[in-house]
Structure 1
Amino acid sequence: MGEKRTRKRMPRAVREQQMLDAAVRIFGQRGYRAASMDEIAELAGVSKPLVYLYLNSKEDLFSACIRREAAALVAAVRDGVGAAEGTSADRQLWDGLRAFFTHTAERPDGWAVLHSQARTQGEPFAALVTAMREEMLAYVTSLIAAAASEAHGDPAPSQRQVAGLAQALVGAAESLADWANRDDSVSAKEAATTLMNFAWAGLGGLVEGRAPTAPGATPGNR
């Protein structure tokens, strides 16, 4: 009786986040098709009817997980860059990469939902991830453009060159996050260092006289 009264008093938003936490874990580890609403309800400590009451269906629940994890990832990268506000553009790019790999390491199930599950399950899930990726690409493009312009001066690199490097950088970040999450010996800092060096190698043709090294970066622990 006491437990039931406690559940009733719990705010809906808090209970819903518990359900999403459980769903992200189950979807990330078992996959969308294999995951069951019974498993999710049990892990969340609620009844299956309550999960349906809050989130309507398995499809809606999975979509809610994608939206939450996508928003959290974008926010983590923006916060990482924001913490370096007022420093050089390449430092901001480095801090953004470091934040990306730290976040995906801390939330491996969320990353699996975004990168491994949602993209392979067709619509409408793939569209949600594509929207997140486009937002990330636009943001990374602006960071690379600023870094290249700051280092190279006039004339600035073409938009096409910068956009191409941003595409390569985001794609490489996704692959490196998978690698780092499969190998516990790979730290977030090491993954960021690898990618930053890759970025500067790509900028080599755009930025004259810049060595391809991440600012102050050496492999370390998470």
Structure 2
Amino acid sequence: MPRAVREQQMLDAAVLTFARRGYRAASMDEIAELAGVSKPLVYLYLNSKDDLFSTVIRRESESLVAAVRAAVEPGESADRKLWNGLRGFFAYAAEHREGWAVLHQQARTHGEPFAREVAVVRGEIVAFVTELLGAAAKEAGCVGELADREVAGLAHALVGAAESLAEWVNCLSEEGTSGELTHPSAKDSAATMMNVVWAGLGRMMGGERWAPSGLAGQGSRSGVGG
């Protein structure tokens, strides 16, 4: 069997083991057994357990970014691009639950360098979302320092909310649902985010601003750019 194929089998086994057992409890013996190879071969191909975990993080991170980017079609309107990007994100989290668990639960809780590697891929997604929201603001004629700052902040908030929603949906899948609570699809989750973010962005572009009671009007500006 070609080395590249054998290595992917080991990484697949590592993803399952890390997701189910956790980084600390996962053993190289278990990973080797699941992959159908000897433990010395795992060390030969992928070095230490730390190196193996880092390789898994990089592979799953690249898959997540690729899924989001592949879902967005060039030439679409800004809202369709964001909608499809969100659908790609939630579809990845639902279809690759072990990989999502490694990125969202395991890698972030074990310090450097793992948390930093996850932060890098998150930064790529935030930058992509910022680009989409920035294009929408520009199309609406909202430019300037305020527009840039608000778009950047909204992009960070959107990615954080999407991560939290994906985690909740996956927890529903694991625990099962009961009563009237139904399991949201990737399309449902994307629609939830669009209803919150896009509707709010549209009002901002129209010059509306929320202000605490008694301060209404003090923060009012015309458009996102002021």
Q: Same fold (TM over 0.5)?
A: yes
Pick from 161, 164, 172 the counterpart of residue 175 of structure 1.
Answer: 164
- How far did 1:125 drift? 0.5
**Which residue of structure 1 aligns with residue 196 of structure 2?**
198
- How far did 1:86 drift? 1.2
The answer to whether 1:90 aligns with 2:79 is yes
Task: Kindly indicate whether the alpha-carbon contact (under 8 Å) linking 1:94 and 1:192 is maintained by their aligned counterparts in 2.
Answer: yes
Task: Kindly indicate whether the alpha-carbon contact (under 8 Å) linking 2:142 and 2:205 is maintained by their aligned counterparts in 1.
Answer: no
**Which residue of structure 2 aligns with residue 120 of structure 1?**
109
**Which residue of structure 1 aligns with residue 17 of structure 2?**
26
**Which residue of structure 2 aligns with residue 216 of structure 1?**
none
The answer to whether 1:63 aligns with 2:54 is yes
- How far did 1:126 drift? 0.7
Task: Kindly indicate whether the alpha-carbon contact (under 8 Å) linking 2:79 and 2:198 is maintained by their aligned counterparts in 1.
Answer: no
Task: Encode CA deviations 1:127-146: one digit per residue, 9 max, x unaligned.
Answer: 10011111111111001111
- How far did 1:148 drift? 2.5
- How far did 1:155 drift? 4.0
- How far did 1:199 drift? 1.1
Pick from 137, 141, 147 the counterpart of residue 153 of structure 1.
Answer: 141
Give 2:57's aligned amino acid: I
Secondary structure at 1:90 match in 2 = helix
Task: Encode CA deviations 1:171-220: one digit per residue, 9 max, x unaligned.
Answer: 001001101111231211111111111211431442229xxxxxxxxxxx
Give 1:80's aligned amino acid: A
Secondary structure at 1:183 match in 2 = helix
Alignment of structure 1 residues 4-19 onto 2, 5 Å: 10-19=1-10
- How far did 1:153 drift? 2.1
Secondary structure at 2:167 match in 1 = helix
Secondary structure at 1:158 match in 2 = helix
Give 1:128's aligned amino acid: E
**Which residue of structure 2 aligns with residue 218 of structure 1?**
none
Paired with 1:71 and 1:110, the residues of 2 have a C-alpha distance of 11
Pick from 69, 80, 100 the counterpart of residue 78 of structure 1.
Answer: 69
Aligned residue-pair number: 198
Give 2:64's aligned amino acid: L
Task: Kindly indicate whether the alpha-carbon contact (under 8 Å) linking 1:89 and 1:146 is maintained by their aligned counterparts in 2.
Answer: yes
RMSD: 1.6
Alignment of structure 1 residues 137-152 onto 2, 5 Å: 137-150=126-139, 152=140
Could you tell me the percent identity over the aligned residues?
67
Secondary structure at 2:205 match in 1 = coil
Paired with 1:33 and 1:202, the residues of 2 have a C-alpha distance of 42
The answer to whether 1:111 aligns with 2:100 is yes
Structure 1 alignment gaps of length 5 or more: 1-9, 210-222
Pick from 61, 83, 88 the counterpart of residue 99 of structure 1.
Answer: 88
Task: Kindly indicate whether the alpha-carbon contact (under 8 Å) linking 1:165 and 1:202 is maintained by their aligned counterparts in 2.
Answer: no
Paired with 1:205 and 1:161, the residues of 2 have a C-alpha distance of 13
Task: Kindly indicate whether the alpha-carbon contact (under 8 Å) linking 1:119 and 1:125 is maintained by their aligned counterparts in 2.
Answer: yes
Bigger Cα displacement from structure 2, 40-49 vs 196-205: 196-205
Paired with 2:16 and 2:64, the residues of 1 have a C-alpha distance of 16
Secondary structure at 1:99 match in 2 = helix
TM-score (norm 1): 0.85
Paired with 2:129 and 2:81, the residues of 1 have a C-alpha distance of 10
